[in-house]
A and B are shown apart, each in its own frame.
Chain A
Amino acid sequence: DAKTTQPTSMDCAEGRAANLPCNHSTISGNEYVYWYRQIHSQGPQYIIHGLKNNETNEMASLIITEDRKSSTLILPHATLRDTAVYYCIVNFNPTGNQFYFGTGTSLTVIP
């Protein structure tokens, strides 16, 4: 079962930062936080993941609170192509472990 809760939907103006929150209050010490997104009719796309420290890559930044009970995915300059459903998932190192998806957040980037 999914261990995360996310808002159902969010809007963001094009060019502005999109901040997507995720609660994972039951996360255990060695579970990672992963973010994926799914554009309509496509497979999920990996965005970023982290354990304790904040992470940044070419797509996004991941901010994890000190108690690790919540995190925020930041898309620094949202474009129309960022419109998608964003999934926050917590899991151990995935080799041999399954990902259980919650309902995700449907992000709409508005021109």
Chain B
Amino acid sequence: GAVVSQHPSRVICKSGTSVKIECRSLDFQATTMFWYRQFPKQSLMLMATSNEGSKATYEQGVEKDKFLINHASLTLSTLTVTSAHPEDSSFYICSAPGQGRLSGNTIYFGEGSWLTVV
């Protein structure tokens, strides 16, 4: 079964609105989570590292005010796309390093969330 879960799996929002995507670690705690974006027929691009209890670290070129990341607990990180535009339409994926009963050397990925901005 999935060890990292994302919600929603698909979302459609109107241009100019904000949308929140949740990423949860199941059965383990994740002090760090990672957010990726993937456009069609392209590879995954790391957007930011989400740190529990502190600010996220953003990759170069990623607007932190547009992609708000909150890691309020050891099992939940959220990505909010603010003032969404059609070019933000993409597949968003989160991941977390396995801990506890899971291998400490493996990163597990969520199922992904499709965002369509109309």
Please list the residues of chain A having a beta carbon within 8 angstroms of any beta carbon in chain B. 2, 32, 34, 36, 38, 41-46, 49, 87, 93-96, 98-104
Instruction: Pick the 5 closest A-B CB pairs, nearest first.
Output: A43-B109, A101-B44, A44-B109, A101-B43, A43-B112
Tell me the complex Cα distance, A33–B77, Å.
Answer: 27
Tell me the complex Cα distance, A64–B8, Å.
Answer: 39
Which of B107, B108, B109 counts the most A-chain CB atoms under 10 A from its CB?
Answer: B107
What 1/0 mask marks residues of chain B from 91 to 118 whose CB sits below 8 Å from any chain A CB?
1010101010000111111111010000
B32 touches A44 (CB 8 A): no
Tell me the complex Cα distance, A42–B99, Å.
Answer: 22
Tell me the complex Cα distance, A41–B6, Å.
Answer: 13
Residues of B within 8 Å of A, CB-based: how many? 25
B43 touches A45 (CB 8 A): no
Shortest B113–chain A CB gap in Å is 10
Please list the residues of chain B having a beta carbon within 8 angstroms of any beta carbon in chain A. 4, 6, 32, 34, 36, 43-46, 49, 91, 93, 95, 97, 99, 104-112, 114
Q: Specify which of B32, B46, B108, B114 is in contact with A96 (CB 8 Å cutoff).
A: B32
Instruction: Say whether, besides A99-B34, A99-B46, A94 and B112 are in contact (CB < 8 Å).
Output: no
Tell me the complex Cα distance, A38–B95, Å.
Answer: 14
Q: Specify which of B49, B93, B97, B104 is in contact with A44 (CB 8 Å cutoff).
A: B93
B93 touches A43 (CB 8 A): yes
A42 touches B97 (CB 8 A): no
B109 touches A95 (CB 8 A): no
Instruction: Say whether, besides A98-B49, A100-B46, A42 and B112 are in contact (CB < 8 Å).
Output: yes
A95 touches B108 (CB 8 A): no
Nearest-neighbor residue (CB-CB) of A50 within chain B = B105
Q: Specify which of B43, B95, B104 is in contact with A102 (CB 8 Å cutoff).
A: B43
Inter-chain contacts of A46 with B (CB < 8 A): 106-109
Tell me the complex Cα distance, A48–B46, Å.
Answer: 21
Shortest A9–chain B CB gap in Å is 12
Inter-chain contacts of B108 with A (CB < 8 A): 46
A99 touches B95 (CB 8 A): yes
Tell me the complex Cα distance, A49–B107, Å.
Answer: 11
Tell me the complex Cα distance, A46–B4, Å.
Answer: 12
